[in-house]
């Protein structure tokens, strides 16, 4: 077994993005996994940066964060850049509604067509760290 390889199964995709609202369609074979998800107000979406899944973007190891004015060059693992060896995105979203196999969410930063890797409930007690240290230039981000 090659320990440097793995397999990711996509469980759905981003169907549409309009303003701050997105629709995520989960494939039928995974719909049972949505059972009782609606009891959470926020969820974590892991997705694939499909437009960055190429040799050039996967070879990026240093970046200058575009969303943080005055940021220095940093290592890709010190950033949220979509260009990275494994183009995986992570976003905390507000879950507005589940209609069958379609999730309506607010605040997803994925593009239309992005494959969904996984969904997890957002748990404030474990997902929020009030004493986390971040550099000053990352305290706020620029709007696009």
Pick the more confident residue, 144 or 140: 140
d(CA 111, CA 23): 11
Look at the chain and count its residues. 144
Please give the average per-residue pLDDT across 83-105, as a whole number.
97
Q: Give me the half-sphere count of Cα atoms (radius 13 Å) on the Cβ side of residue 88.
A: 13
Residue 73 has φ and ψ, to the nearest 5°, of: -65, 135
CA 47 to chain CA mean position, Å: 5
pLDDT in tens, 16-62: 999 999 999 999 999 999 999 999 999 999 999 999 999 999 999 99
Residue located via tokens 């605040």: 107
Percentage of the chain with pLDDT > 70? 97
Would the pLDDT of 140 be above 90? no
Q: Which residue has the higher pLDDT, 138 or 14?
A: 14
Residue ranges of domains in the chain, CATH in brackets: 8-49+87-123 (2.40.30.70), 53-85 (no CATH)
Given a cut of 70, is residue 142 above it in pLDDT?
A: no
- Can you tell me the distance from the alpha carbon of 73 to that of 60, in angstroms, rounded to the nearest whole number? 12
pLDDT at 137 (0 to 100): 84
The rounded percent of the chain whose pLDDT value lies above 90 is 81
Residue 95 clears pLDDT 80, i.e. is over it:
yes
108-117 pLDDT, tens per residue? 999 999 999 9
How far out from the chain centre does Cα 10 lie? 13
Cα 122 to the center of its chain, rounded Å: 13
CA 6 to chain CA centroid, Å, is 19
Tell me which residue of 37, 23, 29, 38 sits closest to 11, measured CA to CA. 29
Residue found by looking up tokens 């997803």 in the block:
108
- Between 8 and 67, the more confident residue is 8
Mean of pLDDT values over 4-25: 95
User: What is the token pair recorded at 2?
Assistant: 């090659």
Q: Match 């494939």 to its residue by tokens.
A: 27
């Amino acid at each position: 077994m090659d320990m440097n390889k793995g397999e990711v199964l996509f469980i759905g995709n981003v169907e549409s993005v309009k303003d701050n609202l997105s629709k995520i369609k989960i494939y039928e074979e995974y719909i049972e996994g949505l059972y009782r998800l609606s009891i959470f107000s926020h969820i974590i979406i892991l997705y694939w940066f499909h437009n960055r899944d190429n040799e050039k973007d996967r070879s990026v190891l240093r970046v200058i964060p575009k969303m943080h004015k005055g940021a220095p060059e940093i290592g890709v693992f010190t950033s949220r850049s979509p260009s990275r060896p494994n183009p995986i995105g992570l976003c905390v979203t507000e879950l507005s509604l589940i209609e069958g196999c379609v999730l309506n969410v607010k605040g997803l930063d994925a593009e239309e067509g992005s494959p969904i890797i996984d969904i997890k409930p957002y748990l404030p007690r474990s997902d929020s760290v009030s004493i986390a240290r971040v550099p000053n230039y990352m305290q706020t981000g620029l709007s696009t």
